[in-house]
Protein backbone atom coordinates (compact mmCIF):
# COMPACT_ATOMS: atom_id res chain seq x y z
CA UNK A 1 0.00 0.00 0.00
CA UNK A 2 1.48 3.38 -0.93
CA UNK A 3 0.43 6.95 -0.29
CA UNK A 4 1.64 10.40 -1.14
CA UNK A 5 3.45 12.06 1.74
CA UNK A 6 3.85 15.82 1.45
CA UNK A 7 5.62 17.93 4.04
CA UNK A 8 8.95 19.02 5.39
CA UNK A 9 11.51 16.37 6.23
CA UNK A 10 14.90 16.67 7.81
CA UNK A 11 16.83 16.26 4.57
CA UNK A 12 15.01 18.70 2.32
CA UNK A 13 12.76 16.21 0.52
CA UNK A 14 9.24 17.65 0.34
CA UNK A 15 7.18 15.11 -1.62
CA UNK A 16 7.54 11.34 -1.84
CA UNK A 17 5.46 8.29 -2.55
CA UNK A 18 5.65 6.18 0.58
CA UNK A 19 4.87 2.68 1.64
CA UNK A 20 3.31 2.05 5.03
CA UNK A 21 4.92 -0.55 7.19
CA UNK A 22 4.10 -1.84 10.69
CA UNK A 23 6.47 -1.33 13.60
CA UNK A 24 6.46 -4.08 16.20
CA UNK A 25 7.88 -2.31 19.21
CA UNK A 26 5.95 0.97 19.05
CA UNK A 27 2.40 -0.11 18.32
CA UNK A 28 1.86 2.54 15.65
CA UNK A 29 3.20 2.81 12.13
CA UNK A 30 6.41 3.98 10.65
CA UNK A 31 6.29 5.36 7.11
CA UNK A 32 9.02 4.12 4.82
CA UNK A 33 9.64 5.19 1.26
CA UNK A 34 10.16 2.21 -1.01
CA UNK A 35 12.17 4.04 -3.68
CA UNK A 36 15.71 2.96 -4.51
CA UNK A 37 17.31 6.28 -5.43
CA UNK A 38 17.20 8.33 -2.26
CA UNK A 39 16.90 5.56 0.28
CA UNK A 40 14.53 5.44 3.22
CA UNK A 41 12.60 8.17 4.95
CA UNK A 42 11.66 6.95 8.42
CA UNK A 43 8.86 8.67 10.29
CA UNK A 44 8.65 7.54 13.89
CA UNK A 45 5.54 8.11 15.98
CA UNK A 46 5.36 7.49 19.71
CA UNK A 47 8.20 6.97 22.16
CA UNK A 48 11.37 5.63 20.57
CA UNK A 49 12.61 2.53 22.41
CA UNK A 50 16.07 1.24 23.24
CA UNK A 51 18.14 0.33 20.16
CA UNK A 52 15.29 1.26 17.82
CA UNK A 53 17.25 1.60 14.56
CA UNK A 54 18.97 -1.74 14.90
CA UNK A 55 15.78 -3.53 15.92
CA UNK A 56 13.85 -2.08 12.98
CA UNK A 57 16.68 -2.70 10.52
CA UNK A 58 17.23 0.92 9.50
CA UNK A 59 20.75 1.42 10.87
CA UNK A 60 22.40 1.37 7.46
CA UNK A 61 19.48 2.35 5.23
CA UNK A 62 17.72 5.37 6.76
CA UNK A 63 18.61 8.63 5.03
CA UNK A 64 15.96 10.86 6.52
CA UNK A 65 14.32 11.00 9.91
CA UNK A 66 11.08 12.60 11.08
CA UNK A 67 10.23 12.30 14.77
CA UNK A 68 6.51 12.63 15.43
CA UNK A 69 5.00 14.98 17.99
CA UNK A 70 3.66 12.04 19.98
CA UNK A 71 7.23 11.17 21.01
CA UNK A 72 8.14 12.02 24.61
CA UNK A 73 11.40 10.08 24.95
CA UNK A 74 14.20 8.95 22.65
CA UNK A 75 15.68 5.77 24.06
CA UNK A 76 19.27 4.74 24.62
CA UNK A 77 21.16 3.77 21.44
CA UNK A 78 17.99 4.59 19.46
CA UNK A 79 19.87 5.74 16.33
CA UNK A 80 23.35 4.50 17.19
CA UNK A 81 25.70 4.53 14.17
CA UNK A 82 22.99 5.67 11.73
CA UNK A 83 25.65 7.40 9.67
CA UNK A 84 23.43 7.61 6.58
CA UNK A 85 20.83 9.84 8.24
CA UNK A 86 21.62 13.21 6.69
CA UNK A 87 20.43 16.77 7.07
CA UNK A 88 19.32 18.68 10.15
CA UNK A 89 17.64 16.97 13.08
CA UNK A 90 14.25 18.22 14.23
CA UNK A 91 13.31 17.22 17.76
CA UNK A 92 9.67 18.07 18.56
CA UNK A 93 8.79 19.92 21.74
CA UNK A 94 6.96 16.86 23.04
CA UNK A 95 10.31 15.20 23.85
CA UNK A 96 11.43 15.41 27.49
CA UNK A 97 14.29 12.88 27.57
CA UNK A 98 17.13 12.13 25.16
CA UNK A 99 18.79 9.05 26.61
CA UNK A 100 22.34 7.69 26.49
CA UNK A 101 23.96 7.40 23.03
CA UNK A 102 20.63 8.18 21.33
CA UNK A 103 22.35 9.72 18.29
CA UNK A 104 25.88 8.49 18.92
CA UNK A 105 28.07 8.61 15.80
CA UNK A 106 25.34 10.02 13.53
CA UNK A 107 28.02 11.74 11.50
CA UNK A 108 25.65 12.56 8.62
CA UNK A 109 23.59 15.02 10.67
CA UNK A 110 24.37 18.57 9.59
CA UNK A 111 23.39 22.12 10.48
CA UNK A 112 22.33 23.56 13.80
CA UNK A 113 20.85 21.30 16.45
CA UNK A 114 17.75 22.75 18.12
CA UNK A 115 16.90 21.22 21.48
CA UNK A 116 13.33 22.18 22.41
CA UNK A 117 12.36 23.81 25.68
CA UNK A 118 10.80 20.59 26.89
CA UNK A 119 13.85 18.38 27.24
CA UNK A 120 15.00 17.92 30.85
CA UNK A 121 17.76 15.33 30.45
CA UNK A 122 20.44 14.81 27.79
CA UNK A 123 22.10 11.45 28.33
CA UNK A 124 25.69 10.25 28.24
CA UNK A 125 27.12 10.34 24.69
CA UNK A 126 23.66 11.44 23.44
CA UNK A 127 25.20 13.32 20.48
CA UNK A 128 28.77 12.09 20.78
CA UNK A 129 30.76 12.16 17.52
CA UNK A 130 28.01 14.05 15.63
CA UNK A 131 30.77 15.91 13.85
CA UNK A 132 28.49 17.43 11.19
CA UNK A 133 26.51 19.56 13.63
CA UNK A 134 27.49 23.21 13.27
CA UNK A 135 26.90 26.66 14.70
CA UNK A 136 25.76 27.59 18.17
CA UNK A 137 24.18 25.05 20.51
CA UNK A 138 21.60 26.39 22.96
CA UNK A 139 20.77 24.30 26.01
CA UNK A 140 17.27 25.54 26.96
CA UNK A 141 16.17 26.38 30.48
CA UNK A 142 14.19 23.16 30.78
CA UNK A 143 17.37 21.05 30.89
CA UNK A 144 18.77 20.13 34.30
CA UNK A 145 21.29 17.43 33.35
CA UNK A 146 23.85 17.17 30.57
CA UNK A 147 25.42 13.72 30.66
CA UNK A 148 29.09 12.92 30.37
CA UNK A 149 30.47 13.03 26.81
CA UNK A 150 27.02 14.24 25.64
CA UNK A 151 28.44 16.44 22.86
CA UNK A 152 32.01 15.17 22.80
CA UNK A 153 33.78 15.26 19.44
CA UNK A 154 31.09 17.51 17.92
CA UNK A 155 33.86 19.29 16.09
CA UNK A 156 31.54 21.55 14.05
CA UNK A 157 30.05 23.41 17.02
CA UNK A 158 31.48 26.89 17.58
CA UNK A 159 29.65 28.04 20.72
CA UNK A 160 27.35 26.80 23.46
CA UNK A 161 24.77 28.56 25.64
CA UNK A 162 23.91 26.85 28.93
CA UNK A 163 21.05 28.21 31.04
CA UNK A 164 20.92 28.46 34.83
CA UNK A 165 18.53 25.51 35.07
CA UNK A 166 21.44 23.12 34.46
CA UNK A 167 22.64 21.67 37.75
CA UNK A 168 24.84 18.86 36.40
CA UNK A 169 27.31 18.86 33.51
CA UNK A 170 28.97 15.49 33.08
CA UNK A 171 32.61 14.67 32.47
CA UNK A 172 33.95 15.55 29.02
CA UNK A 173 30.48 16.80 28.01
CA UNK A 174 32.00 19.12 25.39
CA UNK A 175 35.38 17.46 25.22
CA UNK A 176 37.25 17.53 21.90
CA UNK A 177 34.80 20.02 20.38
CA UNK A 178 37.77 21.48 18.58
CA UNK A 179 35.99 24.48 17.03
CA UNK A 180 33.99 25.41 20.12
CA UNK A 181 35.62 28.69 21.14
CA UNK A 182 32.94 30.46 23.19
CA UNK A 183 30.66 29.37 26.03
CA UNK A 184 27.87 31.37 27.65
CA UNK A 185 27.43 29.81 31.08
CA UNK A 186 24.68 30.76 33.52
CA UNK A 187 25.48 27.76 35.71
CA UNK A 188 27.85 28.21 38.70
CA UNK A 189 31.54 27.43 38.33
CA UNK A 190 31.19 24.53 40.77
CA UNK A 191 28.90 22.73 38.29
CA UNK A 192 31.62 22.61 35.61
CA UNK A 193 33.84 19.56 36.23
CA UNK A 194 37.56 20.31 36.03
CA UNK A 195 40.62 18.17 35.62
CA UNK A 196 42.02 15.99 32.89
CA UNK A 197 40.61 13.55 30.39
CA UNK A 198 37.50 11.87 31.72
CA UNK A 199 36.54 14.74 34.01
CA UNK A 200 37.06 18.04 32.24
CA UNK A 201 33.83 19.24 30.62
CA UNK A 202 35.77 21.26 27.99
CA UNK A 203 38.96 19.25 27.85
CA UNK A 204 40.61 19.25 24.38
CA UNK A 205 38.01 21.73 23.12
CA UNK A 206 38.85 25.03 21.40
CA UNK A 207 37.41 27.07 24.28
CA UNK A 208 39.00 30.52 24.65
CA UNK A 209 36.22 32.71 26.09
CA UNK A 210 33.54 32.22 28.74
CA UNK A 211 30.75 34.66 29.50
CA UNK A 212 29.56 33.80 33.04
CA UNK A 213 26.31 35.01 34.59
CA UNK A 214 26.78 36.74 37.95
CA UNK A 215 30.39 35.66 37.65
CA UNK A 216 31.79 36.51 41.08
CA UNK A 217 28.67 35.41 42.97
CA UNK A 218 28.71 32.12 41.06
CA UNK A 219 32.33 31.35 41.94
CA UNK A 220 34.07 32.50 38.78
CA UNK A 221 37.37 34.36 38.61
CA UNK A 222 37.33 37.08 35.97
CA UNK A 223 40.03 37.79 33.43
CA UNK A 224 42.49 35.87 31.28
CA UNK A 225 44.38 32.71 32.14
CA UNK A 226 41.55 30.81 33.81
CA UNK A 227 40.97 27.05 33.73
CA UNK A 228 37.40 26.05 32.88
CA UNK A 229 36.41 22.42 32.70
CA UNK A 230 39.98 21.28 32.16
CA UNK A 231 40.70 23.86 29.43
CA UNK A 232 43.48 26.27 30.34
CA UNK A 233 44.11 29.83 29.16
CA UNK A 234 40.44 30.84 29.07
CA UNK A 235 39.26 34.44 29.45
CA UNK A 236 36.22 34.77 31.75
CA UNK A 237 33.93 37.80 31.27
CA UNK A 238 30.96 38.79 33.41
CA UNK A 239 27.73 38.05 31.49
CA UNK A 240 25.96 41.24 32.54
CA UNK A 241 23.00 41.17 30.15
CA UNK A 242 21.85 37.56 30.66
CA UNK A 243 19.98 36.00 28.92
CA UNK A 244 20.89 38.17 25.92
CA UNK A 245 23.95 37.00 24.04
CA UNK A 246 26.75 39.63 24.03
Give 11-41 pLDDT, tens digit per residue.
444 444 443 333 333 333 344 443 333 456 6
Domains of the chain: 111-246 (3.80.10)
Distance CA 214, CA 239 (A): 7
Q: What is the DSSP string of 152-210?
A: TT-TTEEEEEE-TT--EE-TTTTTT-TT--EEEE-S-GGGS--SSTTT-TTTTS---EE
The 8-class DSSP code of residue 111 comes to B
190 phi/psi in degrees, rounded to 5: -65, -20
Q: Higher-confidence residue: 123 or 56?
A: 123
Q: Higher-confidence residue: 176 or 198?
A: 176
pLDDT in tens, 131-143: 999 999 999 999 9
214 phi/psi in degrees, rounded to 5: 45, 55
Length of the chain: 246
Distance CA 124, CA 91 (A): 18
What is residue 39's predicted lDDT score, i.e. its pLDDT? 54
What is residue 40's predicted lDDT score, i.e. its pLDDT? 64
Distance CA 116, CA 96 (A): 9
CA 191 to each of CA 14, 218, 222, 231: distance values in angstroms, whole numbers, following the listed order: 43, 10, 17, 15
Amino acid sequence: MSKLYTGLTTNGVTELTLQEEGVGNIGTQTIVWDGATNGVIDQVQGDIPFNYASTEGITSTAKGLVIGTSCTSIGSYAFLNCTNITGSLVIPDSVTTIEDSAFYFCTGLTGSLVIPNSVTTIGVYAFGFCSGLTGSLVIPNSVTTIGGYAFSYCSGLNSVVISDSVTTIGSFAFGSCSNLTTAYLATPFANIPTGGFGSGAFYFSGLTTVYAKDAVANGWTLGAGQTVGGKTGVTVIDWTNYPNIP
